[in-house]
A = this chain, B = another copy of it.
Amino acid sequence: MDVVAQMKNFLEPRSVALLGVSRRTGEGTYNILEYLLDYGYKGKIYPVNPNAAEILGVKTYSRIADINAQIDLAVVNLPRSLVPQVIMECVDKSVKSIIIATQGFADATDDEGKRLQKEIDAFVKKDGVRILGPNSLGVANPFINFSSSFIQLEMSKVPIGVVCQTGSFFGFVESRLLGKGIDLGNACDINFAESLAYFEQDAETKVVALHIEGLRDGRGFIEAAGRLARKKPVLALKAGKSEYAAKAVKSHTGSLVGSDEVWEAALKQCGVIRVRSSEELGDAATAFSLLTLMKGKKIAVVTSTGGLGVMSVDACEQFDLELAKLSPETIARIKALAPSWHNIGNPVDIWPGYIVTKNPLTKVWTEALDSVLSDKDVAAVLFIWGVPAHSTVERLHHTLVKLVEAHPDKPLVCCLVGAYAEEAGRILQATGQIAVFYTPDRAVRVLSYLARYSAFRRSF
A interface residues, Cβ below 8 angstroms from B: 27-28, 30, 103-104, 107-110, 112-113, 151-154, 164-169, 171-175, 211, 213, 239-242, 244-245, 247-249, 251-253, 276-279, 305-311, 313-315, 317, 323, 339-343, 345, 347, 349, 352, 355-356, 361, 386, 388-389, 391, 417-419, 421, 439-442
User: Chain B residues near A211 (CB, 8 Å)?
Assistant: 307
- Contact present for A306 and B241 (CB under 8 Å): no
Cα A422 to Cα B138 with chains together (Å): 26
Q: Which residue of B30, B113, B171, B340 is within 8 Å of A418 (Cβ)? A: B171
Known A305-B167, A307-B168, A418-B171; contact A345-B252, beta-carbon cutoff 8 A:
no
- Inter-chain CA distance A255–B411, complex, in Å, is 32
- Please state if A253 and B306 are interface contacts (CB–CB under 8 Å): yes
Question: What is the bound-complex CA distance between A245 and B322, given in angstroms?
Answer: 12
Whether B175 and A419, one on each chain, are in contact in the complex, defined by CB atoms closer than 8 angstroms, is: yes
List the B side residues contacting A306 at CB < 8 Å. 107, 166, 248, 251-253
Min C-beta distance of A355 to chain B, whole Å: 8
Q: Kindly list chain B residues whose C-beta atoms are within 8 Å of the C-beta of A253.
A: 306
- With known contacts A103-B356, A317-B245, A345-B248, A172–B310 Cβ distance under 8 A: no
How close is A335's CB to chain B, nearest CB, in angstroms?
11
Q: How far is the CA of A252 from the CA of B344 in the complex (A)?
A: 11
A307/B167 in contact, CB under 8 A: yes
A442 neighbours in B (Cβ, 8 Å) = 279
Give Cα distance in the complex from A89 to B219, angstroms. Answer: 79
- Copies of this protein in the assembly total 2
Q: Are B314 and A391 in contact (CB under 8 A)?
A: no
A252 touches B307 (CB 8 A): yes
Contact yes or no, B345 A247, CB < 8 A: yes
Considering the complex, give the chain B residue whose CB is closest to the CB of A360: B28
| From B103, B252, B340, B347, contact of A309 by CB (8 A) | B252
Which residues of chain B are near A311, meaning CB under 8 Å?
A: 239, 277-278
In angstroms, Cα B442 to Cα A251, docked, is 24
What residues of chain B lie closer than 8 Å to A340, measured between beta carbons?
Answer: 110
Contact A313 B248 (CB under 8 A): yes
- Contact (Cβ within 8 A) A251 B349: yes
Interface contact B240-A417, CB-CB below 8 Å = no
* Bound complex: CA A435 to CA B241 (Å): 26
